[in-house]
Structure 1
Amino acid sequence: MNWVLLIIGGLFETGFAVSLGKAQGATGKALAFWLCTFAVCVAISMYLLFKAMGGEKAIPVGTAYAVWGAIGAIGTVISGILWFHEPVTFWRMFFLSTLIISVVGLQVVSS
């Protein structure tokens, strides 16, 4: 269950990063909406990270934070490509792949 909480928390991390990106070009009510979305996503993301690191099957802090951050980073890059028309280059995809491989490797070697 802790891994599910951590993955969902990482997705909300993507949500708060995307909200900040959307807020950059917004004004008025749209700006208020994106800033509220940011605050809600941050709160949920942090709470789920906190819950994943506790309890009976706690995920170690270093592993949990690395996985949570990687999910957020991967989701943010993909969201940037889809919604902000950021470039898809070989090197971006290469380093995104190494991030995924590193997080999987960290999980494999963690007890």
Structure 2
Amino acid sequence: MAWAILFVAGLFEVAWAIGLKYTDGFTRLIPSALTLAAMAVSVVMLALALRTLPVGTGYAVWTGIGTIGTALLGVALFGEPATALRLGCIGLIVAGIVGLKLAA
């Protein structure tokens, strides 16, 4: 169950990271409120997952999910480059997350 909670926490990390782009420096009320809510949910869920998962593993997986999701949505939503090197590096992060899951 902790892994599922951690995964959802990572998705909320993606939501707040992407939400930052829409807040316009926290000058837009609705995007800012949604981004702050996603931040809170993400951190609370991370804390719940860390009740049973090792902190190093949990935090690394949480940030990895956030990094992968944010990078991919940056490509899809904002036209950021999807070079082979960039996608390969994202693949390495995925491999690291899988490795941490297998080692836990």
Report matched runs for 1:56-75 at 5 Å: 58-75=52-69
Which of 59, 75, 91 in structure 2 is aligned with 1:97? 91
The TM-score normalised by the length of structure 2 is 0.93
CA distance in 1, matches of 2:60, 2:37: 22
Question: Gapped runs of 5+ residues in structure 1?
Answer: none
Structure number, greater radius of gyration: 1
Letter of the 2:32 counterpart: L
Among the aligned pairs, what percent are the same residue? 36
Q: Given the two structures, how large is their TM-score scaled by the length of structure 1?
A: 0.87
Count of residues in correspondence between the two structures: 104
Consecutive unaligned residues in structure 2, runs of 5 or more: none
Shift >6 Å, 4+ stretches: none
Aligned residues of 2:23 and 2:31 also touching (Cα < 8 A): yes
Deviations 1:52-109 (A, max 9, x none): 011xxx1110110011111111110111111111111011001000111112112222
The root-mean-square deviation of aligned C-alpha atoms, in Å, is: 1.5
The AA in structure 2 aligned to 1:98 is L
Aligned-residue offset at 1:26: 8.4
